[in-house]
Amino acid sequence: MTSETKKTVLSIKDLKVDFETATGTINAVQGVDIHVQAGETVAIVGESGSGKSQTMMAAMGLLASNGRTRGEVIYEGRNILGLPVGKLNKIRGAKITMIFQEPMTSLDPLYTIGRQLAEPMVVHGGLSWKAAKAKALDLLKLVNIPEPERKINAYPYEMSGGQRQRVMIAMSLANDPDVLIADEPTTALDVTTQAQILDLLADLQKRLGMAVIFITHDLGIVRRIADRVYVMKTGEVVENGDTGQIFNRPAHPYTRMLLDAEPTGHKLPVPDSAPVLLEAQKVAVEFELDSGFLKPRHVLRAVDNISFSLRKGQTLGIVGESGSGKSTLGRAVLNLLPAGGRVVFHGQQITGKSRAEMRALRKDMQLIFQDPFGSLSPRMTVGQIISEGLMVHEPSLSGRQRDERACQALEEVSLDPAMRNRYPHEFSGGQRQRIAIARTMVLKPELVVLDEPTSALDRTIQKQVVELLRDLQKAHGLTYLFISHDLAVVRAISDTVMVMQRGKVVEAGTADAIFEAPKCDYTKELIGAAMLTQQQMMETA
Amino acid sequence: MTLTATSSAGAPAKGRSLWDDARDRLLANRAAVASIIVLLTIGLISVFGPILSAHHYDTVYRDYVKVPASLEAYPKPEQVEPGFMSSAKRARLTVETFEREGDTIVAKVTSSRDIDPRAVLYFDRSDLFKNTELTDMSADNKSATVRADINFMHFYFGTDANGRDMMTRTFIAGRVSLTIGLLATFVAISIGVLYGATSGYLGGRVDQMMMRVVDILYSLPFIFFVIMLVVFFGRNFILMFIAVGAVEWLDMARIVRGQTLTIKRQEYVQAAEALGVADGGIVRRHIIPNTLGPVVVYMTLLVPKVILLESFLSFLGLGIQEPMTSWGVLISEGARNLQGAPWMLIFPSIFLTSTLFALNFIGDGLRDALDPKDR
């Protein structure tokens, strides 16, 4: 669009995708035009359900069996849409490659990294195993895997998420592709790893000169790496243009809404006179690993002597990368895991209490999970899910009273109570998280541990959920233990923040102190990786 | 990635459960729907067939031993005269003239002695004739006219070696086989699901203990077990349930335990624990409903297995007792008479195999309906 000097490598013209389902036809993509030039990075942005992934999946002929496509996908002057699989395979996987969101499941756990890299080169490229292995090693070096000579013989489970994503990238580069389609490649990764992967992609593009189509819901990433942006909403491109133009002069209201979706605001501090609700002293959790008959005992300290105290109405944010022990700490505080140390809730020591003894206390201390898809039982209606806690803790209530309370709870989280007879799979991620919140709120708890409650949600939904949580806190005087790797969300909701690394607290203080003036290197690194994108967004806003 | 359905504009108050979805997918599966219809037909025939049939399942027709299946009525025209002659001979009457007028036989008979009016009983006792009467008795009581109606009967599936109607027997056998199949399956599934879910959910040492018990029961040879039961308690119907149920729940327990192990790691189970729900409630409300998919599928495969087991036991002579019968018994008799009377094997086999086919197709259909691959 800007410089016609460069050659357009892939162009999608008026692509439509329909899905035939039992409940009718779903028009997932409704006439989309996208083109990408050599050496260019194009981002497709949109919330989940906007059809951005389906557009690229359709272009690659990877739709589910009930999908129907119309339109044109032109690669090297040829329409590749609807080509038979045999011909398509010469292009896809070789000249147009894809990397996906889940590095954990994209690799076969039974084969070594080297073998998985080399196999397509042997099968499709006609190389010998030896040559393929050598090329695989080069690829691993290209994507900056530490110790490539050793890692080539490693199995996927021996690698971290970031390393696996690097392997996936290496795999997609094996045949010198013209176009690399990256479908949310960093969503499942920690902020620091995410930054590294983005740098790697930018670097590779510069060196290899391929075109990159980047599908994401995260505008921070777009700002950072994309030349041009397509904004998609409900199967249509609502706006497209240069990155600067989109960010500085967004024309479509939807784009403006996306740009404005960063959780904002601060929580009002709680007076010092508020009573202490929860006190944790030297909480420690250990997991025994592989302790076999003859093997020496190997102990992993997931949580290492952590102490804190929470006043009523306060929110403590716990920040850290995956594996830092923050979720384990949350569960240890609720006595869902055997833990050392002492946890005092309401003046009562709860560590060491049996499950039966804890049961009465469970009403006042609740847990909300990260994955709104996994935390609701698929065979129960929403009403049953919400009123289950009442059945346990207030057995004297009649069925009708329970139903009323469930309705109130649904209204409180701004969901229509008429939907209580539906099943969880009929709701979107954000609605499900609201249901999960309603399930805890119906019991009127005092302490809620929120384990990454917004991580699986889109930015715009995140903002709404954060606002909902803040409103509920204000209305009921709730105390939150907010666990997240998302610094923007933590900042918007917390009074005090604890930064965890490898089971230890590396820094703690008020939210402002931590974010304005971080002392510890690790904190600086975390903030650097996350804030780089946000600062840029602040400037544009 | 979730897609927004354009059709979900209106918000119905009632939700579509996963079961509703599964039902729709099952009804879209032609083989499964056809199988359900076949199975229902066989079920209805087995329940009502014996009531509606003209024959009782244990009535013996001595004149019709091993007659072939036929759509025409018995007796066949050529059977009538010999049948009449032999009845007359038994009544010590000499037949002078024999005439057939439509469905009645008119015959002049003589005897060297006085004709006893009770001689008609000899004709009525035969399965071929009814309403026999003596008329035109001569003055010396030595000759008379016998009028007898031909007693038409249909044996659509033929008769067995004792002259019992195969159709009624096949229907009544269906009752027995299906009852055993369903009840024993129900028993096996109830025990298996409860046992497996409890074992899997409690885990640890309890799980180890419970599963070792299962292993021990597995190691008992089934036939040996049944013979022991028969020796101690004699042969009876209830014993079949116990024997079959006691063996078949073991598989179910293992399947459900495996399912439970994965389900208990799910967040909704952790969420229930965090809510303070007691173990019983978690197993009942969260674990068992979520294992039911594989259980339902396994059930449709277990019913045929149980029917076959019963047939096998009956084949060995350890099952159902005469005159009650089951498909297994009928088939075993049929196999013995295959040379002279193939219909004795064919008809029960058709019923058994179509039931088994139908159940297997339904099982396949349910498996596809309950865990679709791309959703």
> Closest Cα of chain B to A262: distance in Å?
22
Mean local confidence (pLDDT), B305-313: 81
Domain count of the fold of chain B: 2
Report, in angstroms and rounded to the nearest whole number, the Rg of chain B calculated over CA atoms. 30
What is residue B10's predicted lDDT score, i.e. its pLDDT? 38
User: What's the mean pLDDT in B221-233?
Assistant: 79
Interchain pair A358, B276: CB under 8 A: yes
Residue of B3, B24, B274 lying closest to A334 (CB–CB): B274
Confidence (pTM): 0.73
Q: What percentage of chain A exceeds 70 in pLDDT?
A: 94
Question: pLDDT tens digits, residue range A427-460?
Answer: 878 888 889 999 988 888 989 999 888 877 777 7
Residues in chain B closer than 8 A to A23 (CB atoms): 5, 7-8
Structure tokens given for A538: 């602040």
B139 and B266, same domain (yes or no): no
Q: At residue B236, what is the residue type?
A: N
Q: Are B217 and B176 within one domain? A: yes
Q: Quick: pLDDT tens for A169-213.
A: 888 888 788 888 988 887 777 777 888 888 888 888 888 888 999
Domain range for B109 is: 75-150
Q: Which of residues 316-375 of B touch A (CB under 8 A)?
A: 374
Q: Taking the CA atoms of chain A, what radius of gyration do you get in angstroms?
A: 25
Confidence (pLDDT) at A536: 44
Question: Per the CB < 8 Å rule, is B286 touching A377?
Answer: yes
The label of the residue with tokens 């951005």 reads A52
Q: Is B255 within a domain?
A: yes
Query: Could you tell me the CA-to-CA distances from A373 to A339, A434, B46 in Å, in that order?
Result: 28, 12, 46
Question: What is the C-alpha to C-alpha distance for residues B345 and B333, in angstroms, rounded to an integer?
Answer: 7
Determine the Cα–Cα distance for residues B84 and A149; give it in Å rounded to an integer.
102
**What dihedral angle (degrees, nearest 10) is formed by the CA atoms of A134, A140, A143, A145?**
-150
Q: Tell me how far CA of residue B42 lies from CA of A471, B184, B349, in angstroms.
A: 62, 19, 13
| B289 vs A: CB within 8 A | yes
Contact of A187 with chain B, judged by CB distance below 8 Å, is answered with no
Do residue A21 and residue B5 have CB atoms under 8 angstroms apart?
A: yes
Residue at B1 is within a domain: no
What count of residues does chain B have? Answer: 375
> Are the folds of A39-53+83-259 and A314-337+353-540 the same?
yes
In chain A, whose CA is at the least distance from the CA of B374?
Answer: A64
CB contact under 8 A, B16 and A421: no
pLDDT band (50, 70, 90) for residue A291:
low
Would you state the structure tokens that stand for residue A303, as one six-digit string? Answer: 């949580």
Residue A295 pLDDT grade (very low, low, confident, very high; cuts 50, 70, 90): low
Distance from CA of B211 to the nearest CA of A (A): 22
Is B62 domain-assigned? no
Q: Are the Cβ atoms of B13 and A421 closer than 8 angstroms?
A: yes
Give the number of beta-carbon pairs within 8 Å between A and B: 128
Would you call A362 and B275 a contact, using CB atoms and an 8 Å cutoff?
yes
pLDDT: is A467 or B320 the higher one? A467
Cβ–Cβ under 8 Å, residues A70 and A16? yes
Nearest-by-Cβ selection for A379 from B28, B278, B290: B290
Chain mean pLDDT for chain B: 82
pLDDT of residue B44: 93
Contact call for residues A291 and A298 (beta carbons, < 8 A):
yes
Find the closest chain A residue to B28 by CA distance. A22
- Whether B68 maps to a domain, the answer reads no
Q: Do B166 and B144 share a structural domain? A: no
pLDDT digit string (tens) for B311-357? Answer: 787 777 777 777 788 888 888 888 888 888 888 889 889 998 899 88
B253 φ/ψ sector (left φ>0, alpha ψ -120 to 50, else beta): alpha
**How many angstroms separate the CA atoms of A252 and A237, rounded?**
11
Together in a domain, B124 and B196 = no
**Chain B contacts of A389, Cβ < 8 Å?**
275-277
Gap between the Cα atoms of A177 and A96, Å rounded: 6
Interface test with B, best of A19, A328, A336, A375 (most B CBs within 10 A): A375
CA distance A309 to B260: 38
Check CB contact under 8 Å for A53 and B374: no
* Residue B203 shares a structural domain with residue B82: no
Task: Collect all residues of chain B within an 8 Å Cβ-Cβ radius of residue A393.
Answer: 276
**Does B18 touch chain A if contact means CB atoms closer than 8 Å?**
yes
pLDDT of residue B354: 92
Distance of CA B290 to the CA centre of its chain: 31
Question: How sure is the predictor about B17, in pLDDT bands with cuts at 50, 70 and 90?
Answer: low
Looking at the structure, do residues B125 and B258 belong to the same domain, yes or no?
no
**Within a domain: B157:** no
Domain for residue B65, yes or no?
no
Same domain, B51 and B31: yes
Q: Which residue of A has its CA nearest to B22?
A: A22
Element (H, E) at A229: strand A228-233
Asked if residue A256 has pLDDT above 90, the reply is no
The alpha carbon of residue B324 is apart from the nearest alpha carbon of chain A, in Å, by: 43
Taking a C-beta distance cutoff of 8 angstroms, is the pair B344, B334 a contact? yes
∠ CA B268-B273-B277, nearest 5°, is 110
Tokens for B239, please give them: 């014993």
Residues 6+ apart with CB under 8 A from B179: none
| Of B125, B150, B175, the domain-final residue | B150
Give contacts of A425 with chain B, Cβ < 8 Å: 18
C-alpha B277/C-alpha A384 separation (Å) is 13
- What CATH number matches the domain at A39-53+83-259, 3.40.50.620, 3.20.20.70, 3.40.50.300, 3.40.50.720? 3.40.50.300
Is the pLDDT at B212 greater than 90? The verdict is yes
Among the listed residues A136, A208, A141, the one whose alpha carbon sits nearest the alpha carbon of residue A174: A136
Rounded to 10 degrees, the C-alpha dihedral B323/B328/B331/B333 comes to: -40
CA B257 from chain centre, in angstroms, equals 31
Identify the CATH number of the domain in which residue B105 sits: 3.30.1360
Query: Within the 41-80 window of chain B, which residues sit less than 8 Å (CB to CB) from chain A?
Result: none
Within a domain: B226: yes
Last residue of a domain, one of B150, B172, B206: B150
CB contacts of A360 in chain B (<8 Å) are 276
Those of residues 120-179 in B touching chain A at CB distance below 8 A are none
A532-541, B185-194, B344-353: least confident range: A532-541
Q: Do B266 and A389 touch (CB under 8 A)?
A: no
What is residue B209's predicted lDDT score, i.e. its pLDDT?
A: 92
Q: What is the mean pLDDT of residues A334-356?
A: 85
Same domain for B121 and B247, yes or no, is: no
Higher pLDDT among residues B118 and B19, named by residue? B118
Does A428 contact B286 at a Cβ distance shorter than 8 Å?
no
pLDDT tens figures, B273-295: 888 888 888 888 888 888 877 88
Q: What is the CATH number of the domain that holds B299?
A: 1.10.3720.10
Tokens found for residue B93: 């009457």
* In the predicted structure, residue B151 carries a pLDDT above the cut 70: yes
On whether both B263 and B191 belong to a single domain, the answer is: yes
A123 or B214: which leads in pLDDT? B214
Residue A105 has pLDDT above 80, yes or no: no
Nearest beta carbon to residue B276 from set A66, A363, A375: A363
Across the interface, whether the CB atoms of B289 and A369 are under 8 A apart is answered no
Q: Which of B2, B3, B368 to mutate to test the interface with A (most CBs of A within 10 A)?
A: B3
The torsion angle over the Cα atoms of residues B333, B337, B341 and B345, rounded to 10 degrees, is: 40
A172 contacts chain B (CB < 8 A)? no
Q: Does A512 touch chain B (CB under 8 A)?
A: no
Task: Compare A538 and B237 and report the one with higher pLDDT.
Answer: B237
What is the Cα B45 distance to its own chain's centre?
Answer: 10
Give the pLDDT score at A3: 44
pLDDT at B363 over 90: no
- Chain B residues in contact with A377 (beta carbon < 8 A): 268, 272, 285-286, 289-290
Hey, are the CB atoms on B17 and A381 less than 8 Å from each other?
A: yes
Q: Is A23 on the interface with B (CB under 8 A)?
A: yes
Chain B residue with CA closest to A101: the answer is: B1
User: What phi-psi label fits residue A452: left (phi over 0), alpha (psi between -120 and 50 degrees) or beta?
Assistant: left
Strands A78-79, A67-75: pairing kind: antiparallel
Count of beta carbons in the 10 Å neighbourhood of residue A49: 20
Instruction: Check if B10 contacts A (Cβ < 8 Å).
Output: no
Cβ distance A345 to A365 under 8 Å?
yes
H or E element that contains A480: strand A479-484
Q: Which residues does chain B have within 8 Å of residue A394's beta carbon, measured at their own beta carbons?
A: none
The answer to whether residues B216 and B351 belong to one domain is yes
pLDDT band at B2 (very low <50, low <70, confident <90, very high): very low
Angle, helix B343-370 to helix B166-202, in steps of 10 degrees: 30
Res. A369: pLDDT tops 80:
yes
Q: Say yes or no: B49 and B114 in one domain.
A: no
In this prediction, residues A259-276 reach a mean pLDDT of 76
| Residue A2, pLDDT score | 43
Q: Is the peptide bond before B82 cis (omega within 30 degrees of 0)?
A: no
**B208: confidence class by pLDDT, cuts 50, 70, 90:** very high
Tell me the C-alpha to C-alpha distance, in Å, between residue A519 and each of A483, A494, B136.
21, 18, 131
A483 with A452: CB under 8 angstroms?
yes
The residue behind tokens 């006179």 is A273
Q: Which two tokens stand for residue B74?
A: 């018995």
Domain ranges for chain A, please list them: 39-53+83-259, 314-337+353-540
Choose the most confident range, by mean pLDDT, from A166-175, B67-76, B196-205. B196-205
In a domain, B66, yes or no: no
Digit-coded pLDDT (tens) for B100-110: 887 888 888 88
Q: Single out the residue in B150, B172, B197 at which a domain terminates.
A: B150
Q: How far is CA B47 from the centre of its chain?
A: 9
Q: Partners of B130 in the beta sheet?
A: B149
A381 touches chain B (CB under 8 A): yes
| Cα–Cα distance for residue pair B16/B248, rounded to 1 Å | 34
The CATH number of domain A314-337+353-540, selected from 3.40.605.10, 3.40.50.1820, 3.40.50.300, 3.40.640.10: 3.40.50.300
CB contact (8 A) between residue B6 and residue A24? yes
Distance, first Cα to last Cα, chain A = 26
Report the residue from A22, A359, A423 with minimal CB separation from B24.
A22
Instruction: With residue B360 as reference, give the H or E element that holds it.
Output: helix B343-370
- Mark whether B146 and B173 lie in a shared domain: no
Q: Is A430 on the interface with B (CB under 8 A)?
A: no
Whether B8 contacts chain A with CB within 8 A: yes
Residues of A in contact with B280 (CB under 8 A): none
Q: Is A393 on the interface with B (CB under 8 A)?
A: yes
Chain B residues 220-239 with CB within 8 Å of chain A: none
